[in-house]
Amino acid sequence: MDRRIRRGGSIGALALLLCMGPTASSALWAEPARTASVPALAVSTVGGKQVGNVHYVLLQLERDPQGRGPTVLFSESSTGSAVDEEWKNGARAAMSAAAKVLGEDERNWRLMIKNRSRFSLSSGSSASSAIAVGVLAAWRGDALHSGVAITGVINPDGRIEDVGDLPAKLQGAVEARMRALLVPKGEARTPEWDLFELAQKTGVTVVEVGTLREAYEFMTGISP
């Protein structure tokens, strides 16, 4: 079994376990956990204005030798970690998509997720594409390029579908000093906005991706 942990994984695993509690910690001693931290984008309304922001999703992926999965657990005890049911369904779809790309049986997986946002509740499924990339990176042991964020709804078959509020998300990426923003194919330029034009002189490159494989290759430099 491949037991590599992505660069910085030892520190990341420890931080994640401290957040998630004794159950995850005891599992780690049985078999090294595979971890990743991936940036995602969200939009909140502040003072009547849409404000985009980058938040991070911490992932810990383990093999369930008894094949009782797929199991997805959410750590929501701390401030900024609460997520709604649509967000959770998106995370489950992300797990399925990642397993499909890897040719793995998701029934053999247990995934623990902790969302870290400055807002009290994260909603919607636009972070699901980021979670899918993170699951792939955790399982394979690949390092994610820094400064690259993605938004999009992932399907279990790996397709990345449309999301809204992209101008606000682009601004959030700019303020977080991201280098690139990945968006669903066909969404960079629409009747409502032109992200290519908005991104000029911001330092952020807007890239369209249509599948999980495309997104993963851009975010790691490696074809899954």
pLDDT tens track for 121-152: 888 999 999 999 999 999 999 999 999 999 99
Q: Rounded to the nearest 10 degrees, what angle do helices 212-220 and 128-140 cross at? A: 60
- Is pLDDT above 60 for 13? no
Distances (CA, A) of 141 to 10, 133, 192: 12, 12, 39
- Is pLDDT above 60 for 1? no
> At which residue do the structure tokens 């290519």 appear?
196
What pLDDT does residue 206 have? 98
Quick one: pLDDT band at residue 8, thresholds 50, 70, 90? very low
- Is pLDDT above 60 for 25? no
Alpha helices in 103-224 (DSSP H): 128-140, 166-175, 195-199, 212-220
Q: Kind and range of the H or E element at 205?
A: strand 205-209
- Work out the average pLDDT over 116-125: 83
- Work out the average pLDDT over 196-206: 96
Cβ neighbours of 84 (radius 10 Å): 13
Least Cα distance to 204 among 47, 39, 80 occurs for: 39
pTM of the model: 0.85
**What is the maximum span of the chain, computed from C-alpha positions, in angstroms?**
53
What pLDDT does residue 12 have? 47
- Work out the average pLDDT over 95-106: 96
- Work out the average pLDDT over 161-184: 96
What pLDDT does residue 117 have? 84
Buried-state track 115-149, b at ≥16 Cβ within 10 A, e below 16: bbbebeebebbbbbbbbbbbbbbbbbbbbbeeebb
What pLDDT does residue 31 have? 62
Distances (CA, A) of 78 to 5, 89, 115: 26, 20, 9
What pLDDT does residue 3 have? 34
**Which domains, ranges and CATH numbers included, belong to the chain?**
9-220 (3.30.230.10)
Strands, DSSP E only, in 24-179? 34-46, 49-63, 71-75, 82-83, 109-116, 121-122, 148-150, 153-154, 160-161
